[in-house]
Amino acid sequence: MPGSQDVNSRDAALRKLTRINRWLIAGSVTATGALSALAAGTFSGHAVTAASTTTEAASSTAAEAAKSTASSGSAANLEAASSAPSSAEATESSTGGESSTGGESSTVVSGGS
Amino acid sequence: MAASPPIAVEPAFASWEALGSTAVLGVTVPGALSQARCEVESDLAAVDRACSRFRSDSELSRLNARAGRPMQASPLLIEALEVALRAAELTGGDVDPTVGRALELAGYDRDWRLLAAPADESEPDAPARPPALRIRVRSGWREVSLDRSTRRIRIPAGVRLDLGATAKAWAADRAADAAATSGCGVLVSLGGDIATSGPPPAGGWRIHVTDDHRSDASAPGQTVSILSGGLATSSTAVRRWSQDGRIMHHIIDPATGRPARSMWRTVSVAAATCTDANIATTAAFMRGEGAPAWLEQLGLPARLVDHDELVTTVGDWPAEPFAGHDQARAA
């Protein structure tokens, strides 16, 4: 039969273990949240659009290449012209033929092809 | 890029067949036309050898045949693909170079002038009879691997690239810059995708926007002038063919792998380059009624025509001179 002192020691040890377990659980939950937030910030994903029909993990190579192009001279967005088109009166004929000369009739046609 | 001072000399023009379409070259110094044409023809031939989907000896055809395996490519094809991937990035995939297989399944597997002409005007996706097999083509520009340092490209197995949505406009930009080295103003039009470089003629370059680039300036549309940059027009009314009784066109919606069913028939956009203008016109078809707001947000002047011939203008695009309220509206 254990003495009352042994019982008290056991109960004290159990209470200590319980406190340690609670702290461990609380600490692991906090650490999980912090690490998740860190990972989300470090490895940000991309928006899924209707045009991107692939459901597999997408390689970032193409996107990086596109960004590389943008940084090597092309604009990072579609770029507007320095001046907008202005209205011009319609003319009677379009451009065509070898080495035809210009003049008021030298209108180039932009249409579907 | 700021517009250069205009040149008060009438421009001279030449036109010929190139890249499966019509090339038009304009120069502000008539004496420079021959040299400029040599420059443009040389550049277009190089682009054709690198980027044509219809030439079995092109680099692009070799790349498509090696899908799933890496291939070392020329700087020209690398640049063309970078332009195409940038278009995909900037449009959220609305302009996707991996729709080559979808185009082939839609019947666009050769020069479109060799395809069967449509017998009627029914819309795409209106089948004459139920298809025996429906194939959904997966596209995915993000899976294309491009390493500029080693010049190696790898496309996923089963994928075929088509650079048609960007290469022609990009070629026009390149050709205009190449021909403008002598200092004269240059306009290059490839199938109606127009790039300019150098000082414009007095009053600017006159451009008539309409459905079909093979039309003349009397066709329904609008005549505008530009001092710099590019202007592109895309239309589903022109490059059409018939497949199994259905009318098909060349603007593929990457989300469906089928010809886009859009509220727009013809879209024209002005931008700093012909490439950017063309990217915007193509994406506008996929964005439907959201296209005017998107173009407005980007600050790109545009003219959109729907299937009822109602014209919508965006931003600083000039108003239609003779259109009433029932024919035109501003976004």
Alpha carbon distance A83, B41 (integer Å): 29
Judged by DSSP in three states, B13 sits in strand
pLDDT digits (tens, 9 = 90+) for A11-39: 999 999 999 999 999 999 999 988 887 77
Q: Which residues of B fall within a CB distance of 8 Å from A95? A: 13, 15, 24, 26
Selecting from A75, A97, A112 the residue whose C-beta is nearest the C-beta of B212 gives A112
In the DSSP assignment, the letter for residue B320 is P
Asked if A88's CB is within 8 angstroms of B225's CB, the reply is yes
Taking CA–CA distances from B113, the nearest residue in chain A reads A113
Taking CA–CA distances from B3, the nearest residue in chain A reads A82
Judged by DSSP in three states, B223 sits in strand
DSSP B134-191: --PPP--GGG-EEETTTTEEE--TT-----TTTHHHHHHHHHHHHHGGGSS-EEEEET
* Separation in Å, CA of B269 to nearest CA in chain A: 10
Q: Which residues of A fall within a CB distance of 8 Å from B270? A: 80-81, 84-85
In the DSSP assignment, the letter for residue B304 is E
pLDDT confidence of residue B278: 96
pLDDT confidence of residue B106: 65
B212 to chain A, any CB pair closer than 8 A? The answer is: yes
pLDDT confidence of residue A73: 41
pLDDT confidence of residue A42: 58
Do residues B270 and B302 touch, judged by C-beta distance below 8 A?
yes
Selecting from A58, A79, A97 the residue whose C-beta is nearest the C-beta of B140 gives A58
When scoring B22, B89, B96, B305 by the number of chain A Cβ atoms within 10 A, the one with the most, hence best to mutate, is B89
Task: Tell me the average confidence (pLDDT) per consecutive run of 10 residues in chain B, 331 residues long.
Answer: 61 91 93 93 95 91 93 96 95 90 67 54 47 52 91 92 92 94 90 94 93 82 95 84 65 78 92 97 94 96 94 93 55 60
pLDDT confidence of residue B232: 96
DSSP H helices, B5-121, are: 33-51, 59-65, 75-90, 100-105
A109 to chain B, any CB pair closer than 8 A? The answer is: yes
- Side-chain-facing half-sphere of B154: CA atoms under 13 Å: 11
pLDDT confidence of residue B7: 61
Please return the burial class of B98, using the count of CB atoms within 10 Å of its CB with bins 0-12, 13-18 and 19+.
Answer: buried
A5 to chain B, any CB pair closer than 8 A? The answer is: no
In the DSSP assignment, the letter for residue B5 is P
pLDDT confidence of residue B174: 96
- Is the pLDDT assigned to residue A91 strictly greater than 70? no
Alpha carbon distance B32, B24 (integer Å): 15
pLDDT confidence of residue B102: 74
Domains located in chain B, CATH noted:
12-316 (3.10.520.10)
- Side-chain-facing half-sphere of B245: CA atoms under 13 Å: 6
H/E/C letters for each residue in A26-90? HHHHHHHHHHHHHHHHHCCCCCCCCCCCCCCCCCCHHHHHHHHHHHCCCCCCCCCCCCCCEECCC
Closest listed residue to residue B149, CA positions, set A68, A111, A59 = A68
* Separation in Å, CA of A18 to nearest CA in chain B: 51
Selecting from B3, B201, B203 the residue whose C-beta is nearest the C-beta of A83 gives B3
Q: Which residues of B fall within a CB distance of 8 Å from A106? A: 10-11, 13, 26, 206
Phi-psi region of B215 (alpha: psi -120 to 50; beta: other; left: phi over 0): beta
Do residues B21 and B190 touch, judged by C-beta distance below 8 A?
yes
When scoring B17, B25, B142, B186 by the number of chain A Cβ atoms within 10 A, the one with the most, hence best to mutate, is B142
pTM above 0.80, yes or no: no
